[in-house]
Amino acid sequence: MDTRSVVDLSAVTLRDGESFESLLQRFRSSVNRSGVMREVRLRRFYRSKAEKERLALQRAIRRQRRREAKVRRSMGV
């Protein structure tokens, strides 16, 4: 991802009669949906381009194996 990309901050507004716990829960779910924490974990340490490509290939292989296993299960094999 480009480091010059636009930052979209999650924001929630307090509704009438809403408790702080409910507000906090909505904020946390908003942050989770936006993928901010996932991005922070991915960028915690530097990864070279070669390492990113290798990890992407591994993810693709796992995804393909899961799809094949799902097809085999549906066919009863």
Number of domains in the chain: 2
- The burial class, CB within 10 Å (0-12 / 13-18 / 19+), for 30 is middle
Does residue 55 sit in the same domain as residue 30? no
Does residue 13 sit in the same domain as residue 40? yes
Residue linked to tokens 């636009």: 6
Q: What is the pLDDT of residue 63?
A: 98
Q: Residue 64: enclosing H or E segment and its boundaries? A: helix 49-75
Q: What is the pLDDT of residue 76?
A: 81
Does residue 41 sit in the same domain as residue 13? yes
Asked if the model's pLDDT at residue 55 lies above 60, the reply is yes
Q: What is the pLDDT of residue 47?
A: 95
Does residue 41 sit in the same domain as residue 54? no
Does residue 51 sit in the same domain as residue 66? yes
Write the pLDDT tens digit of every residue in 7-45. 677 889 999 999 999 999 999 999 999 988 998 998 999
Is there a contact between 14 and 23 (Cβ–Cβ < 8 Å)? Answer: yes
Does residue 50 sit in the same domain as residue 23? no
Q: What is the pLDDT of residue 10?
A: 83
Q: Residue 38: enclosing H or E segment and its boundaries? A: helix 36-42
Does residue 39 sit in the same domain as residue 58? no
For 32-37, the CB contacts below 8 A with 24+ separation are 34/8, 34/10, 36/10
Q: What is the pLDDT of residue 50?
A: 98
Range of the domain at 15: 1-45
